[in-house]
Amino acid sequence: MRARHAFLILVLLAVAAPASAHPAPFSYLDLHLRPGRVDGALVAHAIDLAHELGLPSPDQLRDPRVVDANQDRMFALVRQRLSLIAGGTTFEPLVDRVDILADRQALQFTLRFAVERPPDSFVVRAALFPYDANHQTFVNVYEGGALRHQGIFNATRSSLEYFPGTAQGTLAVVRKFVIEGARHIAIGPDHILFLVGLLLLGGSLMQLVRIVTAFTVAHSLTLTLAVLNVLDPSARLVEPAVALSIIYIGADNLLVTRQSRDVRAWIALTFGLIHGFGFASVLREMDLPRQALGWSLFSFNAGVEIGQVAIVLVVASALAAARRASETLGQRLVYVGSAGVLAAGAYWFVQRVFFAGGV
């Protein structure tokens, strides 16, 4: 038994020894916003640098003479794989010096990005050691000495957009997310078709305002809850539910009679909650600026609202013109349009439930 225990201990030591010799593949990038420039410090592990330099052992980078001899190659490597984009201009880092961090088996590069003025936003791009698919670079952004943002670069993500906490930075957030909100409505056929379905029956200006307002309030609520991670239903549930909402509005239009009570505002309110989760899945992929989260949410919703209003004006005006020209034509548009809405919703539902890989 003692021999068995001794053997197990030796096996564990043999496994643990190489594991400790190969630390997790991390780099660290700190960026400090200053007037007219962005300063930085990059800490890279000797194992990664030795691989890129073709050195037989990372321990060689503990020797100042080896570091000096390879300094130009390392500086060139940093300049090639790290950049900052501001105002449409790409800035390479100016590497001031490199220091040996013997206790961390790493090297630290002192950087400067000579931006011409404090940027209203900028993008950092980094792909430092692509040879290692598991490599990660942790990024910290500081303003006035205070940590404002943290991010991670890895094999699937090599850029980070940052908006400084200035008036110009806030305006940049508003500008970007208003455009993105309007764009998302424009390229989202399911959301457009749901709105069109709500408008097919026509109605007074006040009725249409109530419908659009109810939809806006509902999707804004769930969008905010989802982005804040208060509620986070799976897209495998949300996307088919959005399709079901389209089926419902199409069927409801076909079943409604002149004597029926107009409940489209309630339909918009109910199903708008589901559509809000659909908007959130897109918004989360955009790397929301945590330091301006409120403004980004508000601006995205404003953009969505602008897109919706544009759709309402075009569709409602066209339907009203058709009804003025011919009551029969207007009625046919309701039936044909509602059948089309229902059919499209059914198609999306089948696709999203049974062929989810294509969504």
Scan for tokens 């209203």, then name that residue: 120
- The pLDDT of residue 12 is 37
Nearest to 153 by CA among 284, 287, 45: 287
Domain boundary among 100, 128, 162: 162
The CA distance from 218 to 277, in Å, is 10
- The secondary structure of residue 116, as a DSSP letter, is S
* Per-10-residue mean pLDDT, the chain, length 359: 42 39 73 85 94 92 93 94 88 92 91 80 89 90 83 86 74 83 84 90 85 89 86 87 93 79 88 88 69 79 88 89 87 91 93 73
299 in a domain, yes or no? yes
Residues 197, 275 share a domain: yes
Residues 206 and 149 in one domain: no
Would residue 319 count as lying in a domain? Answer: yes
38 and 174 fall within a common domain: no
Which of 95, 127, 162 is the last residue in one of the domains? Answer: 162
The count of domains in the chain is 2
Say whether both 205 and 130 belong to one domain: no
* Claim to verify: residue 127 and residue 222 sit in the same structural domain: no
Q: pLDDT at position 300, please?
A: 87
Contacts of residue 116, Cβ cutoff 8 Å, sequence gap at least 6:
36, 87, 89
C-beta of residue 222 within 8 angstroms of C-beta of residue 231: yes
What pLDDT is recorded for position 1?
A: 47
Query: Is residue 14 in some structural domain?
Result: no
The owner of tokens 């991010």 is: 151
270 and 179 in a single domain? The answer is yes
Is 289 within a domain?
yes
Question: Same domain, yes or no, for 182 and 153?
Answer: no
* Domain limit, last residue, from 162, 191, 218: 162
CB 68 within 8 A of CB 61: no
Question: Collapsing DSSP states into helix, strand and coil, what is residue 213?
Answer: helix
Domain identity same for 343 and 210: yes
Domain assignment present for 183: yes
Query: d(Cα 231, Cα 226) in Å, to the nearest integer?
Result: 5
DSSP 220-241: HHHHHHHHTTS----HHHHHHH
Q: In this structure, are 330 and 281 located in the same domain?
A: yes
pLDDT at 170: 74
In this structure, is residue 15 part of a structural domain? no
CB 44 within 8 A of CB 154: no
Q: pTM above 0.75?
A: no
Beta-carbon contacts of 10 under 8 Å, excluding residues fewer than 6 positions away, are: none
Least Cα distance to 309 among 237, 238, 179, 208 occurs for: 208
Tell me the residue range of the domain where 45 lies: 22-162
Task: Say if 16 falls within a structural domain.
Answer: no
* 216 and 177 within one domain: yes
**What are the residues whose beta carbons fall under 8 Å from the beta carbon of 346, sequence distance 6 or more?**
243, 247
Report the candidate in 36, 38, 59, 32 with the shortest Cα–Cα distance to residue 47.
Answer: 59
Alpha helices in 82-121 (DSSP H): none
Cβ contacts of 276 within 8 Å, gap of 6 or more: 218, 219, 220, 221, 222, 223, 225, 226
